[in-house]
């Protein structure tokens, strides 16, 4: 029986989003028209969740902190109807040169700055990008609660948090976290082993998995063990798709029903990514990928 569920995912009061999302980490072009066409392609294809962060643009050829949010804000301002078609997600809590700062004043300032750059009155999904080890989760929770009560943000999630860190934050919130955004791919299986996906299943949290193609390495094969490439290539040949499509399908084939964030800046790759929803991976296929990735047979 195929393990991939192509139906929409539920994000609390935000309603349904597609099983694939558009990621903005590499969105560093100066061409607003091209960025708009990419967004339109994604929205037309059902990639209704658009994931960005205030720190995006600080690398990957960007012009600096906030650049990706600013670009998305200009794209939406050029055609305001786009805003009504998307679930807008951004993240805060990284504060260069200090690594992380989710203290109340810093988090409020970060959210306010994101609203300004995105040219919107409300952020649909606001996530703590990485845990600030020096801020008490009760203070983070209080700030998020204030922002949500004020109508500045609608729903809350976390990114790159351990299960224990998620639990600590949730303990101080009167409303549920709706997302957890871990790295996950056929090359990075940590959420399978560290309790992240287990906690999502327990609490009804939707995982938003980033880098499902391991930064493109699963498509190119660069630095990937031959045994894993062989398994992926055999599955791709059987399914009549390319290796990247199988790798993307693998990221979706967990009962927590992840949303896989697609970071391509090529409209044709967005369209072709939809083929992952039709890949028929069974239990034996997924376990074969896991064993090839870890390099040891399962007991």
Active-site annotation, residues: 56
Cβ proximity of 121 and 115 under 8 Å: yes
Q: Which residues contact 205 (CB under 8 A, 6 or more apart)?
A: 157, 166, 176, 177, 178, 179, 180, 199, 256
Q: Which residues contact 149 (CB under 8 A, 6 or more apart)?
A: none
In angstroms, the Cα distances linking 44 to 24, 29, 270 are 17, 21, 10
Per-residue tokens: 217: 């390495």
How far apart CA 59 and CA 183 sit, in angstroms, is 18
The two counts, helices (H) then strands (E), for the chain are 13, 12
Per-residue tokens: 111: 């959210």
SS (H, E, C) 188-208: ECHHHHCCHHHHHHHHCCEEE
SS3 209: strand
How far apart CA 166 and CA 156 sit, in angstroms, is 12
Cβ proximity of 277 and 4 under 8 Å: yes
User: What is the number of other CB atoms lying within 10 angstroms of the CB of residue 183?
Assistant: 18
């Amino acid at each position: 029986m195929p393990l991939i569920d192509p139906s929409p995912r539920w994000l609390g009061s935000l309603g349904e989003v597609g099983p694939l999302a558009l990621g903005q980490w590499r969105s560093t072009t100066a061409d607003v028209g091209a960025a708009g066409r990419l967004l339109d392609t994604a929205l037309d294809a059902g990639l209704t969740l658009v994931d960005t962060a205030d720190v995006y643009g600080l690398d990957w050829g960007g012009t600096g902190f906030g650049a990706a949010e600013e670009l998305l804000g200009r794209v939406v301002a050029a055609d305001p109807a786009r805003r009504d078609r998307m679930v807008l997600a951004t993240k805060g809590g990284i504060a260069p040169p200090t690594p992380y700062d989710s203290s109340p004043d810093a988090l409020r300032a970060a959210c306010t700055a994101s609203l300004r750059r995105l040219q919107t009155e409300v952020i649909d999904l606001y996530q703590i990008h990485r845990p600030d080890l020096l801020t008490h989760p009760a203070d983070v929770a209080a700030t998020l609660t204030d922002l949500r009560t004020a109508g500045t943000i609608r729903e809350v999630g976390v990114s790159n948090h351990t299960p224990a860190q998620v639990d600590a934050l949730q303990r101080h919130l009167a409303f549920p976290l709706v997302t957890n955004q871990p790295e996950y791919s056929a090359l990075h299986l940590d959420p399978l082993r560290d309790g992240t996906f287990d906690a999502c299943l327990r609490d009804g949290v939707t995982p938003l998995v980033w880098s499902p193609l391991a930064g493109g390495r699963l498509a190119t094969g660069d630095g990937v063990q031959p045994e894993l490439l062989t398994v992926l290539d055999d599955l791709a040949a059987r399914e009549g798709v390319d290796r990247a499509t199988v790798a993307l399908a693998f990221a979706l084939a967990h009962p927590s029903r992840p949303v896989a964030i697609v970071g391509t800046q090529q409209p044709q790759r967005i369209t072709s990514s939809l083929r992952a929803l039709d890949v028929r991976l069974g239990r034996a296929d997924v376990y074969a990928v896991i064993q090839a990735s870890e390099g040891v047979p399962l007991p």
